[in-house]
Amino acid sequence: MHSQFESREVSRIIDQALIYQCACPAQVCSTLIGLRDLHAYQQECLEATENDRRVHEAIARAAEQAHTIMEQCLRDVLVIEGWDLQTLSMPDALRKKPAKEGI
């Protein structure tokens, strides 16, 4: 499966987002990790019966499509929030953002 963001980059975004309580990028990253895991699992199951193979191919295909959409969403969110796309560093303005009540 093609990825715009490597796993280590996704983890870096999650780490920064959680430290500074900016949950939205972390939620998108967690979804990407889940879709990657789902896709990998489906690829491992392709050796089963013909019907099973078709089921796993359908799920893998949908996971790839969802992954592409969510990676673009992550890129859009990072641009909107002003993240440095080269280093994947959170902007200072978000680091100083006050914590939300109830979190």
Taking only the tens of pLDDT, the chain with its 103 residues reads 889 999 999 999 999 887 777 788 999 999 999 999 999 999 888 776 777 888 989 999 999 999 999 999 999 999 999 999 999 998 888 776 555 555 4
Q: For residue 21, tell me if it sits in a domain.
A: yes
Q: Is residue 65 part of a domain?
A: yes
Does a structural domain hold residue 2? Answer: no
pLDDT at 19: 77
In a domain, 99, yes or no: no
Domains in the chain: how many in total?
Answer: 1
Say if 97 falls within a structural domain. no
Q: Residue 82 is part of which domain span?
A: 7-89
Among 97, 94, 64, 83, smallest CA distance to 9 is for 83
